[in-house]
């Protein structure tokens, strides 16, 4: 599946004729601690948090950083794949950065709703999947528009960017609130990726074995067809002296 996802992304780029506008700047797969395989912002574990089996396991602990992982302005994308326990604290954070009060950044839970930054601290009107099953979320922001995808499906969009603001608050935290790690997420994460720019779902999940969203299938199949046709043309070309 990893190879298929990479090939699908290559086909989509071949069809469009352009490379992705989004650049992966931080990538955490939790295969060997909280290691950034795309950058240099390695993290550390606190409390009851552990890393095992390619997962960041959270049950009252968190992963902290000595860096600001989310850009303070401009376009960026945040991808998280996770399993959430049905029982959660009323306020729960998967990723946070900054300081309380706008524009503090959160991606987490408020009650049964998805909480997104202090701007939408009361939720965005969409249910957070707390069912002990694997899910993922992709938040994109840039150009004055923000959008949230759950399992590859767009569930929310709004005008305006949702950046964390000036980098003068607390550093980034996975699995809790910045500045101390309370509001703990109960469950696990197996991937966290941050992009500079607006990433598509296919770009965000490339190499992870995720199934592309339905709207991407036609583009990918057409891309494979174009690649195959080009290869056949090269194979039958004959040169005469």
Pairing of strands 76-84, 134-142: antiparallel
User: Which option is the CATH number for 21-199: 1.20.120.1810, 2.60.120.200, 3.40.50.720, 2.40.110.20?
Assistant: 2.60.120.200
**What is the reported pLDDT for 20?**
55
* 229 touches 14 (CB < 8 A): no
What DSSP state is assigned to residue 62?
Answer: E
Residue whose token pair is 């703990």: 184
Helix/strand/coil for 172: strand
Q: Output the pLDDT for position 13.
A: 44
Q: What is the pLDDT of residue 8?
A: 44
What integer pLDDT is reported at residue 100 of this predicted model? 82
Burial of residue 46, with CB atoms counted within 10 A of its CB: 0-12 exposed, 13-18 middle, 19 or more buried: middle
Chain-centroid distance, C-alpha 89: 22
So what's the pLDDT on residue 182?
Answer: 85
Model pTM score: 0.80
Per-residue confidence (pLDDT) for residue 14, from 0 to 100: 42
pLDDT tens, the chain, 241 aa long: 333 434 444 444 444 334 458 999 999 999 999 999 999 999 999 999 999 999 999 988 999 999 999 998 899 999 999 999 999 999 999 999 988 877 789 999 999 999 999 889 899 999 999 999 999 999 999 989 999 999 999 999 999 999 887 777 899 999 999 877 789 999 999 999 999 999 999 999 999 974 444 444 444 445 445 445 444 544 544 444 4
Collapse the DSSP code of 83 into the 3-class scheme (helix H, G, I; strand E, B; otherwise coil) and give the result. strand
pLDDT at 241: 43
Residue 174's H or E segment, with its range, is: strand 170-174
């Amino acid at each position: 599946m990893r190879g298929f996802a990479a090939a699908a992304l290559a086909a989509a780029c071949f069809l469009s004729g352009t490379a992705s506008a989004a650049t992966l700047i931080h990538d955490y797969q939790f295969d060997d601690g909280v290691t950034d395989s795309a950058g240099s912002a390695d993290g550390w574990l606190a409390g009851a948090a552990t890393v095992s089996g390619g997962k960041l396991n959270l049950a009252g602990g968190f992963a902290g950083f000595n860096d600001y992982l989310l850009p303070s302005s401009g376009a960026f994308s945040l991808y998280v794949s996770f399993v959430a326990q049905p029982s959660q604290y009323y306020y729960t954070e998967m990723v946070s950065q900054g300081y309380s009060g706008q524009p503090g950044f959160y991606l987490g839970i408020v009650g049964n709703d998805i909480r997104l930054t202090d701007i939408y601290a009361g939720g965005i009107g969409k249910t957070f999947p707390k069912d002990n099953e694997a899910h993922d979320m992709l938040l994109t922001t840039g150009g004055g528009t923000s959008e949230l995808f759950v399992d590859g499906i767009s569930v929310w969009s709004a005008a305006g960017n949702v950046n964390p603001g000036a980098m003068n608050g607390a550093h980034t935290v996975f699995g809790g609130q910045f500045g101390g790690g309370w509001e703990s997420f109960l469950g696990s994460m197996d991937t966290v990726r941050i992009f500079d720019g607006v990433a598509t779902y296919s770009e965000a999940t490339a190499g992870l074995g995720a199934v592309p969203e339905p709207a991407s299938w036609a583009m990918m199949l057409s891309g494979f067809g174009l690649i195959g046709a080009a290869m056949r043309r090269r194979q039958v070309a004959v040169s005469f002296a």
